[in-house]
Amino acid sequence: MSAARRCGVDVPRAVAFEVLQRVEADDAFANLTLPKVVSANNLSGRDAAFSTELTYGTLRSEGVLDAVIAECASRGLEAIAPDVLIALRMGTYQCCT
């Protein structure tokens, strides 16, 4: 069992989060980054599919997700830390689909 799993980290979600961080911070291409991160974390089957859907779905819906988050947030999106905004987008995507 990996350290991430022992600590209760949901590895497929952590993979999606890492890819979204790289896209946001480094202007990385998700289609090139995702397979590398999935492979590095030994994901396969359902876990790999879930990471893929969460990553691409969050990117695909970013505008709508940001509008929902902005409506609910007590401050503007620009005041939200980038990592927190990524997590909010992922969570909102999961709640809304």
- Contacts of residue 82, Cβ cutoff 8 Å, sequence gap at least 6: 21, 24, 25
pLDDT value, residue 8: 76
Domain boundaries, the chain: 3-92
Look at residue 69 and tell me whether its pLDDT is greater than 80: yes
Q: What is the pTM of this model?
A: 0.90
> By three-state DSSP, how is residue 29 classified?
coil
Which whole number is the average pLDDT over 55-65? 98
pLDDT value, residue 1: 43
Which whole number is the average pLDDT over 79-94? 98
pLDDT value, residue 9: 83
H or E segment at 45?
helix 45-60
Look at residue 78 and tell me whether its pLDDT is greater than 50: yes
Look at residue 83 and tell me whether its pLDDT is greater than 70: yes
Look at residue 3 and tell me whether its pLDDT is greater than 70: no
- State how far the Cα of 68 lies from the Cα of 50, in Å rounded to an integer: 22
Q: Does domain 3-92 match CATH 1.10.940.10? A: yes
